[in-house]
Amino acid sequence: MSIENEMVDGYMAGFSSGAMSLPDWHKGRSAAFKHGWLNGRDDRISKPRERYSVLRARADMILSRESNGNV
């Protein structure tokens, strides 16, 4: 699975979850999945946890690090 797909899967899981924090069963997932999950949760509750520029930079860093195998 691509890193981008993991982020999207995380987003969909966070958006459809009823949890306010990342559930324990997702704690071992990739940084991309976790970032996506938190973004999905933020959209679900209509409350971003950070400014867009910070979240975008974090996503770019995750994508860059994981695509280079530096997780």
Instruction: Please determine, for residue 70, whether its predicted confidence score (pLDDT) is greater than 90.
Output: no
Report yes or no: 44 and 15 within 8 Å, Cβ to Cβ.
yes
The per-residue pLDDT for 65 is 82
The per-residue pLDDT for 55 is 97
How do residues 11-67 score in pLDDT, each as one tens digit?
A: 999 999 999 999 999 999 999 999 999 999 999 999 999 999 999 999 999 999 866
Q: Does the model's pTM come out above 0.95?
A: no
The per-residue pLDDT for 71 is 52
Buried b or exposed e, range 9-45, using 16+ CB within 10 angstroms? bbbebbbebeeeebeeebeebbbbbbbbbbbbbbebe
